[in-house]
Amino acid sequence: MAELSTKERMAIKFVHMPLNKAELRIHNFEEVPVGYTLEQAKQEAQRCIQCKKPGCIEGCPVGIDIPAFIHLIEQGKVAEAAKKIRETNFLPAACGRVCPQDKQCQALCVVGKKAEPVGIGGLERFAADWEREHGTYILPEIPAATGKKVAVVGSGPAGLTAAYELRIRGHEVVVFEAFHRGGGVMVYGIPRFRLPLDIIDEDIHMLEKIGVQFVYDMIIGKVLTLDDLLVNEKFDAVFIASGAGLPKMLGIKGENSSGVYSANEYLTRIYLMQALKFPKYATPLYQGKRVAVIGAGNTAMDTLRTAKRLGADVTCYYRRTRAEAPARTEELEHAEQEFLNWKWLHNPVEIIADENNFVKAIKCEKMALSEPDSSGRRKPVGTGEFVVDDVDTIVFSLGCDVNPIIPSTDKEVRINKWGIVMVDQKTCQTSKPGVFAGGDAITGGSTVILAMGQAKNAAVGIDRYLKGELKWADANVPTDPNAPGVQWEGRFSAGKR
Ligand SMILES: Cc1cc2nc3c(=O)[nH]c(=O)nc-3n(C[C@H](O)[C@H](O)[C@H](O)COP(=O)(O)OP(=O)(O)OC[C@H]3O[C@@H](n4cnc5c(N)ncnc54)[C@H](O)[C@@H]3O)c2cc1C
Ligand code: SF4
């Protein structure tokens, strides 16, 4: 087949990934996008003009060689494409589904300057699913044992990525997880209609096959301390990847009424604790008929859509407008298709309960946006006009703070005033010798791919430490409690192995 010219490639229309119909999907928990066929994937791959300076790679926190894997799909070499992605990304099927590509790789895609950017996320998902369905994945070879042992605390994307990166360098790795199963937010937060469970299970299974050990129902900081791990259990290093699972609330009147949840509790009950199968599983869920969800980020979209699937009339309350909603564009669009109600510029000020302390209404102040400030940001300001809506369940989806258990039980681990674990930005060393940290624990609530990128950085740091190349005296861990957590300023240095 003759090579297509850039002009011909640019003329090819964006291939939309087919979706299950909204009127049907709101009655089940099946995945919403159905994935590309081989023909659709090849056609979308043809839209990539194979740039000499590909913006997409710079936009990827783990530095996937995006043009290379897309070219392989175009040639029909899908197993090779998956292998190419796996050179830098250990969780491609999850990332193809949940990464904010619209703000990362696709935002910098050169084709996107004139037309719809190349559907990089959809193609990544296609290659990863193909690999799973055709069984083409080959386990990595593990080098001779180094004799060093690393404890990973938490089995979310950061913990799993670090476990993989350390294991393939020959170290013994044990993952300690507080819950009874692994995956972190990918299992207890992100709904099944966005990320099916078997995908995460297979990645964990793969880690087990290469010798990573998992210890579940183990809360580090409570049952075993960091010193127990380092001194008694003789681990040479510890990686804290305990995430950000401490829900934020508004502190308004009535917040303690029955029928008020944090999104974390609501989603964990449903997806991790199987409340949908009550009484077979002993997790009750008080699910009302009129549900108010407060916030407009990814978690809010997940909560709204979950409540809808449970048969409720569901409304989103957000104090800014749709344009400022922090959710991924695709998630917002999918939610908008699902017959939800939207109350933009509404700021909840009180929860009204009945005589038995059950939620009966929510009171909101209507807001307006100010003129842009020096940073260009428009603040929501109260108008003095209030509305009261009848609701019987309220779910706060306002983001989460870092899990406090480990820093609160080991004062050598320095945190800033927001509870974020302070680390050397290059090596992920904490203030406690032998202890590293990554993922949401060092950024505050963030994204799967950023958690993975930091975990890769940390794994490089841990490996160097275990080889005696990294000294604690050289670690640059901020001491100022006002110092921010780690920010992403481009691809992580350990993006490529
Ligand atoms: C509902 C929801 C939807 C989201 N949607 C998206 C999305 O679409 N795209 C995206 O990129 N990101 C999304 N995110 C954010 C993303 O999931 C997180 O940024 C990411 O999971 C962080 O990874 P992590 O490994 O640092 O932490 P986590 O995934 O939080 O994993 C931490 C793990 O550590 C365990 N743990 C905590 N404390 C201890 C302890 N003391 N001892 C032992 N184990 C412990 C926890 O049980 C958990 O399993 C979403 C988050 C939520 C809540
Ligand atoms: S920037 Fe877009 S067009 Fe260029 S190589 Fe990357 S995906 Fe292809």
Encoded tokens for 122: 């959809």
Percent of the chain with pLDDT over 90: 89
Which of 102, 118, 124 is the pocket-test mutation for ligand 2 (most atoms within 8 Å of CB)?
118
List pLDDT tens digits, range 296-345. 998 999 999 999 999 999 999 999 999 999 888 889 999 999 999 999 99
Encoded tokens for 353: 């309960």
CA 334-446-104 angle, to 5 degrees, is 65
Alpha-carbon distance 452 to 439, whole Å?
7
| DSSP 8-state class, residue 143 | P
Confidence of residue 1 (pLDDT cuts 50, 70, 90): low
Q: Pick the residue whose CA is nearest to atom 2 on ligand 2.
A: 109
Ligand 1 atom closest to residue 439's alpha carbon, by position in its atom list: 26
How many residues are listed for the chain in this entry?
497
Report in angstroms the alpha-carbon separations of 40 from 7, 127, 166, 356: 20, 12, 37, 56
Contact call for residues 392 and 358 (beta carbons, < 8 A): yes
> Which of 113-117, 128-132, 270-274, 352-356 shows the lowest mean pLDDT across its residues?
270-274
CB distance 55 to ligand 1 below 6 Å: no
CB distance 159 to ligand 1 below 6 Å: yes
Question: Which one-letter amino acid corresponds to residue 110?
Answer: V
CB distance 45 to ligand 2 below 6 Å: no
Ligand 1 atom closest to residue 220's alpha carbon, by position in its atom list: 42
Average pLDDT of the residues of the chain: 94
List pLDDT tens digits, range 44-59. 999 999 999 999 999 9
CB distance 54 to ligand 2 below 6 Å: yes
Report in angstroms the alpha-carbon separations of 422 from 63, 227, 338, 417: 25, 19, 41, 10
CB distance 268 to ligand 1 below 6 Å: no
Helices (H) and strands (E) in the chain, counts: 18, 15
DSSP string of 442-457, one letter each residue: HHSS--HHHHHHHHHH
Which of 223, 226, 229, 242 is the pocket-test mutation for ligand 1 (most atoms within 8 Å of CB)?
242
CB distance 299 to ligand 1 below 6 Å: yes
- 399 or 25: whose pLDDT is higher? 25
CB distance 485 to ligand 1 below 6 Å: no
What is the DSSP pairing of strand 380-390 with strand 359-369? antiparallel
Residue 9 has phi, psi (to 5 degrees) of -65, -45
Which of 6, 9, 74, 111 is the pocket-test mutation for ligand 2 (most atoms within 8 Å of CB)?
111
Tokens 């010193």 -> residue: 227
CB distance 155 to ligand 1 below 6 Å: yes
Q: Which ligand is nearest to the CA of 221?
A: 1
Alpha-carbon distance 191 to 275, whole Å?
13
> Which of 78-82, 83-87, 278-282, 307-311 shows the lowest mean pLDDT across its residues?
278-282
Residue 390 has pLDDT above 70, yes or no: yes
Start-to-end CA distance of the chain, whole Å, equals 34
Ranges of H-type helices in 112-254: 120-134, 157-167, 185-188, 197-209, 226-227
Of the candidates 246, 178, 267, 263, which has an alpha carbon nearest to the alpha carbon of residue 402? 246
Helix (H) / strand (E) element for 461: namely: helix 448-466
Ligand 2 atom closest to residue 55's alpha carbon, by position in its atom list: 1
CB distance 247 to ligand 1 below 6 Å: no
Contact call for residues 275 and 285 (beta carbons, < 8 A): yes
Percent of the chain with pLDDT over 70: 98
Half-sphere exposure of 267 (CA within 13 A, CB side): 28
CB distance 158 to ligand 1 below 6 Å: yes
What is the DSSP pairing of strand 172-176 with strand 213-215? parallel
Alpha-carbon distance 363 to 105, whole Å?
40
Alpha-carbon distance 370 to 392, whole Å?
32
Alpha-carbon distance 387 to 343, whole Å?
11
Look at the alpha carbons of 45, 48, 53, 57 in this order and tell me if their dihedral is positive or negative. negative
Ligand 2 center–CA 168 separation, angstroms = 30
Q: What is the pLDDT of residue 274?
A: 84
Mean pLDDT in residue range 426-445 = 96
Q: What is the pLDDT of residue 415?
A: 97
Residue 286 has pLDDT above 90, yes or no: no
Contact call for residues 445 and 264 (beta carbons, < 8 A): no
Ligand 2 atom closest to residue 110's alpha carbon, by position in its atom list: 1
CB distance 109 to ligand 2 below 6 Å: yes
Ligand 2 atom closest to residue 50's alpha carbon, by position in its atom list: 5
Q: What is the pLDDT of residue 465?
A: 98
Alpha-carbon distance 446 to 245, whole Å?
11
pTM score of the predicted model: 0.94
List pLDDT tens digits, range 199-248. 999 999 999 999 999 999 999 999 999 999 999 999 999 999 999 999 99
Residue 290 has phi, psi (to 5 degrees) of -125, 110
Q: What is the pLDDT of residue 490?
A: 53
Burial class (CB in 10 A: 0-12, 13-18, 19+), 217: exposed
Q: What is the pLDDT of residue 271?
A: 93
- What domains appear along the chain, each with residue ranges and CATH number? 6-134 (1.10.1060.10), 149-245+402-495 (3.50.50.60), 250-264+286-396 (3.50.50.60)
Q: Pick the residue whose CA is nearest to atom 14 on ligand 1.
A: 447
Q: What is the pLDDT of residue 102?
A: 87
Ligand 2 center–CA 118 separation, angstroms = 7
List pLDDT tens digits, range 463-494. 999 999 999 999 999 999 999 888 766 544 44
Q: Which ligand is nearest to the CA of 123?
A: 2
CB distance 297 to ligand 1 below 6 Å: no
Tokens 């990686």 -> residue: 239
List pLDDT tens digits, range 399-423. 899 999 999 999 999 999 999 999 9
Q: Is the peptide bond before 61 cis (omega within 30 degrees of 0)?
A: no
Alpha-carbon distance 35 to 116, whole Å?
18
Which of 110, 120, 123 is the pocket-test mutation for ligand 2 (most atoms within 8 Å of CB)?
110
